[in-house]
Amino acid sequence: MNSLQHNLNIVFIGGGNMGQALVTGLLDSGWPADNIAVVDNDHAMTIKLKEKFPHCHVYSQSEAALNLADVVVLAVKPQVIQTACEQIAAQCQIKRPLIISIAAGILINSIDHWLGGELPIIRSMPNTPALVQAGVTGLYATEEVSAEQHEIAEKILCSVGDVCWLDDEALLDVVTALSGSGPAYFFYLIEAMIEAGKSLGLSETQARELTVATAAGAAKLIKQSGKSAQDLRLAVTSKGGTTEAAINTLQEHEMKKIIDTAISKAAEKSKLLANTK
């Protein structure tokens, strides 16, 4: 971490699941606790946050926190983000921090409008494995965001996994469909594999252990080897073997087409939801 980033104050508006995941990631990556503040309007949550992050600043109202903010992370639910933005707009216009929104489907134009206009804003789409620091986040920045602010946002989101920059905000709908909703697709496959293992005689525990370790191992192998998914698949598909028997069945049922249709539907839905908020 360079010395400039080291001294930056980050304020989280919303200290729920994602806010906590990001604070945990930042602390683990060496961000000083004294430079992190979390604002949550739920009193019970502020007690929990103080216990979990005793060296960070925790507030139930944003005023004190925002006085020192260099970066504001909007980590509230989409349905309350307008109110949250309007509560902090006046102070943001004075301090002009970098704004990073993680709210699903909320367009930058809306955030900009609610915050009073012309602030540097980054919109992002993380996914649930961020909760165990193994997420991936799609990011899009407006022209007002400087190169240094790009780096800062990357540092923050990298603390909970990988990042992928986009040059078109509309592509966040695809990110939502691919990696945002993606963990559920893998859970569905895992669920189906466990059920298949059980129907063939394994216990629930055995089937789960074998399937989950296989999923984690396959993900690690493709990441570390840098090889394509197709190459790795072909490498374990011997002619006339067991893998081929399974893959042939998936191909007969047009599995790739089903996945393509499913992800296209999710992207369409994301676009529709974003345009109705």
Ligand X SMILES: NC(=O)c1ccc[n+]([C@@H]2O[C@H](COP(=O)([O-])OP(=O)(O)OC[C@H]3O[C@@H](n4cnc5c(N)ncnc54)[C@H](OP(=O)(O)O)[C@@H]3O)[C@@H](O)[C@H]2O)c1
- Residue written as tokens 């992002």? 124
Among the residue ranges 96-104, 141-149, 206-214, 221-229, the one whose residues contact ligand X (CB under 6 A): 96-104
The DSSP annotation for 176-193 comes to IIIIISHHHHHHHHHHHH
Among the residue ranges 1-9, 25-33, 97-105, 192-200, the one whose residues contact ligand X (CB under 6 A): 97-105
Q: How far is the CB of 191 from ligand X (least distance, A)?
A: 18
Among the residue ranges 8-16, 148-156, 207-215, 245-253, the one whose residues contact ligand X (CB under 6 A): 8-16
Answer for which of 19, 25, 97, 138 binds ligand X (CB under 6 A) is 19
Answer for which of 11, 18, 139, 266 binds ligand X (CB under 6 A) is 18
Among the residue ranges 17-25, 89-97, 139-147, 167-175, the one whose residues contact ligand X (CB under 6 A): 17-25
Tell me if 77 contacts ligand X by CB under 6 A.
yes
DSSP 13: E
Tell me if 32 contacts ligand X by CB under 6 A.
no
Tell me if 78 contacts ligand X by CB under 6 A.
yes
For residue 70, give the 3-state DSSP assignment.
coil
Tell me if 17 contacts ligand X by CB under 6 A.
yes
Residues contacting ligand X: total by CB under 6 A: 27
Q: Which residue of this chain has its Cβ atom nearest to ligand X in the complex?
A: 16
H-helix segments, 200-241? 204-225, 229-235
| Ranges within 161-190 binding ligand X (CB under 6 A) | 180
Answer for which of 9, 24, 35, 41 binds ligand X (CB under 6 A) is 41
Cα(234)–Cα(248) distance, integer angstroms: 12
Cα(254)–Cα(272) distance, integer angstroms: 27
Name the nearest CA neighbour of 172 among 148, 214, 138, 208.
138
| Ranges within 121-140 binding ligand X (CB under 6 A) | 126-128
Ranges assigned E (strand) in the chain? 10-13, 36-39, 57-59, 71-74, 98-101, 121-125, 135-141, 161-165
Q: How far is the CB of 276 from ligand X (least distance, A)?
A: 15
β-bridge mates for residue 73, sequence order: 12, 100
For 46, residues 6+ apart whose C-beta sits below 8 A from its C-beta are: 15, 40, 58, 59, 60
Helix-then-strand count for the chain, H and E: 13, 8
Positions touching ligand X (CB under 6 A) are 13-19, 39-42, 45, 75-78, 80, 83-84, 87, 102-104, 126-128, 180
